[in-house]
Amino acid sequence: MASRAVWRRGASAWLRASREPPGVPRSRGCAGARGSREVVPTCERYAVRRLPFGRLADGDVAFFERLMPGRVVTGQEEVRPFNVDWLQSVRGCSQLVLKPQTTAEVSQVLRYCHERNLAVNPQGGNTGLVGGSVPVFDEIVLSTALMNRIISFDRVSGILVCQAGCVLERLNEYLEEQGFIMPLDLGAKGSCHIGGNVATNAGGLRLLRYGSLRGTVLGLEVVLADGSALDCLTSLRKDNTGYDLKQLFIGSEGTLGVITAVSILCPQKPKAVNVAFLGCQSFAKVLETFTTCRAMLGEILSAFEFMDEKCMELVERHLKLSSPVADSPFYVLIETSGSNSTHDEEKLNNFLEKAIASGLVSDGTMATDYKKIKVLWSLRERITEALTHEGYVYKYDISLPVGKLYELVTDMRARLGHRAKNVLGYGHLGDGNLHLNITAESYSHSLLDAIEPFVYEWTARCSGSISAEHGLGFKKKQFIQYSKPQQAVLLMQRFKAMLDPKGILNPYKVLPSAHERSMS
């Protein structure tokens, strides 16, 4: 049944919708989101010294050509997209991209690079948001683009085994045909690879329901820096034999090994999905809506996302989407997923009636059919894309006690005043994860200095995390101490030295180095 209703403030009963949400095409080709502005090389903008790695020679390229004929990219124009990140905020100067198809090829590449002391940057869909996915200098890009084979799927257990370069959305489509879904979903699904998702421990829009990849990933195959392959690709729900080594590689952002295959537990595709999109007049009401929603929807709640009015304004202006709910300082997207549509709709309706009657929600709309659900989701999922139209984006991905989530946005807005074009907040409220974004016409070092380390100090004071889901990559590695004690960082450095003694895997990322950010 495709029901849809809009509530107006003060209305005691459902009013039928007068405005249909537009039929917006879903943005999945991430590269299409941006123009083609010139990107300042990372080593010019930040004071980074090249570490003493080997330099690529003709003989090296010849070796790789023999190893994987036709899958070695050297042309400047062809290499360019692999050097620049999705945000167009960092740029390396690699001259070589390798596209292996098998784990054996990845092993041979790394064994060779290890011997020759050549640095390597593993890359999936290049949708990372912290500058981790592209080289800083001339690191060789090891792309998983051609490692896109599904190895097996067990319909009884729901366990999928696939190569690391499978695109998340393709995997989800494959699973949907068999009545399952991937346990994670994110706005970059059309481009990001499952290996990249695991390497960043991506969170996304379904974490509230299905948990983190640290729980759903059951096994990994990884090639270490010296080329040796570690086969921990088990498909077991339970395995307590010794240390859980795969956890070391989940979230390691390409610094400890190259993930070549993933075994992952996938949930059943829910039979009934509903989405409500609501307006709230204050953040306090957003919080109370969340509490009420959790209490009343219980096990069928699958997402609780929020965004402020600035997000909505930019999505409407730049992407020509139109919101079915207007004039609210905050918006909330609630998704339910369950197995009985009558039961789920009744529960959601009861919740919405209560939320309206008690004044928590001032306006809202609900969708139960697939197309309208997609349209409502795009208002939330495409904020990141809309922001890129505003100029340079300073991105912060913060975990905080949920009650404090929006205070940081308000404080930052007051601190920056007119120096910033926009200071806005949205995110996975149900996970206590704020996406604080600040935009300006162009990059400015003085604006960056006004934001950092203020934003990290603020977060640390609340015992939050400076990276809830995007990782540290290149941009945040110098700030790890705001979220981890020194002993933990030292232990991480020892793991790194043990697994990659020459430091050839994704250098200049994740762990702090002696150098500091400089002026540009």
Q: How far apart are CA 93 and CA 65, in angstroms?
A: 20
What tokens does 233 get?
């690709």
| Residues 138-177: x where in contact with ligand 2HG by CB under 6 A, - otherwise, as a string | ----------------------------------------
* Per-residue CA distances from 122 to 96, 223, 264, 377 (Å): 12, 11, 21, 31
What tokens does 141 get?
């890009």
Site for ligand FAD in 492-511 (CB under 6 A): 506, 509
Q: Which stretch binds ligand FAD (CB under 6 A): 253-261, 339-347, 443-451, 483-491?
A: 253-261
Write down the least CB distance from residue 392 to ligand FAD, Å.
15
Measured in whole angstroms, how far is the alpha carbon of residue 163 from the centre of its chain?
19
Q: How far apart are CA 251 and CA 471, in angstroms?
A: 7
Q: Is 259 in the site for ligand FAD (CB under 6 A)?
A: yes
Q: How far apart are CA 269 and CA 303, in angstroms?
A: 15
Upstream peptide bond of 270 is cis (omega within 30 degrees of 0): no
**Residue 395: which of ligand 2HG, ligand FAD, none does it interact with, CB under 5 to 8 A by kind?**
ligand 2HG
| Residues 27-66: x where in contact with ligand FAD by CB under 6 A, - otherwise, as a string | ---x------------------------------------
Angle at 439 between CA 434 and CA 443, to 5 degrees: 125
Q: Please pick, from the candidates 196, 338, 364, 464, the single residue that binds ligand FAD as defined by CB under 6 A.
A: 196
**Residue 335: which of ligand 2HG, ligand FAD, none does it interact with, CB under 5 to 8 A by kind?**
none
| Residue nearer to ligand FAD on the CB measure, 134 or 448 | 134
Write down the least CB distance from residue 463 to ligand 2HG, Å.
21
Q: Is 127 in the site for ligand FAD (CB under 6 A)?
A: yes
**Residue 435: which of ligand 2HG, ligand FAD, none does it interact with, CB under 5 to 8 A by kind?**
ligand 2HG
Write down the least CB distance from residue 440 to ligand 2HG, Å.
15
| Residues 468-487: x where in contact with ligand FAD by CB under 6 A, - otherwise, as a string | -xx--x--------------
Total interface residues for ligand FAD by CB under 6 A: 39
Q: Is 263 in the site for ligand 2HG (CB under 6 A)?
A: no
The torsion angles phi and psi of 399, rounded to 5 degrees, stand at -95, 130
| Residues 369-388: x where in contact with ligand FAD by CB under 6 A, - otherwise, as a string | ---------------xx---
Buried b or exposed e, range 484-519, using 16+ CB within 10 angstroms: eeeeeeeebeeebeebbebbbbbbbbbbbeeeebee
**Residue 103: which of ligand FAD, ligand 2HG, none does it interact with, CB under 5 to 8 A by kind?**
none
Q: Is 432 in the site for ligand FAD (CB under 6 A)?
A: no
**DSSP secondary structure of 368-432:** -SHHHHHHHHHHHHTHHHHHGGGSEEEEEEEE--GGGTTHHHHHHHHHHGGGSSEEEEEEEGGGT
Which residues, other chains included, contact 80 with Cβ-Cβ below 8 Å and sequence gap of 6+? Answer: none
Q: How many Å is the maximal CA-CA distance in the chain? A: 76
What tokens does 172 get?
């989800």
Q: Is 395 in the site for ligand 2HG (CB under 6 A)?
A: yes
What tokens does 334 get?
């609630």
What tokens does 150 get?
């599904």
| Residue nearer to ligand 2HG on the CB measure, 221 or 305 | 305
| Residues 185-204: x where in contact with ligand 2HG by CB under 6 A, - otherwise, as a string | --x-----------------
Q: Is 435 in the site for ligand 2HG (CB under 6 A)?
A: yes
Q: Is 83 in the site for ligand FAD (CB under 6 A)?
A: no
Instruction: Check: CB of residue 321 under 8 Å from CB of residue 263.
Output: no
Q: Is 188 in the site for ligand FAD (CB under 6 A)?
A: yes
| Residues 460-499: x where in contact with ligand 2HG by CB under 6 A, - otherwise, as a string | ---------x------------------------------
Q: Give every strand in the sheet of 258-265, ordered side by side.
A: 150-154, 159-163, 258-265, 217-223, 229-232
Q: Is 365 in the site for ligand FAD (CB under 6 A)?
A: no
Q: Is 437 in the site for ligand 2HG (CB under 6 A)?
A: yes
Q: How far apart are CA 411 and CA 266, in angstroms?
A: 40
Measured in whole angstroms, how far is the alpha carbon of residue 390 from the centre of its chain?
20
Q: How far apart are CA 308 and CA 282, in angstroms?
A: 10
| Residue nearer to ligand 2HG on the CB measure, 158 or 204 | 204
What tokens does 67 get?
């190893």
Interface positions with ligand 2HG (CB under 6 A):
187, 384, 395, 397, 435, 437, 469
Interface positions with ligand FAD (CB under 6 A):
30, 86, 121-129, 132-133, 144, 164, 186-188, 192-193, 195-197, 199-200, 202-204, 253-254, 258-259, 384-385, 469-470, 473, 506, 509
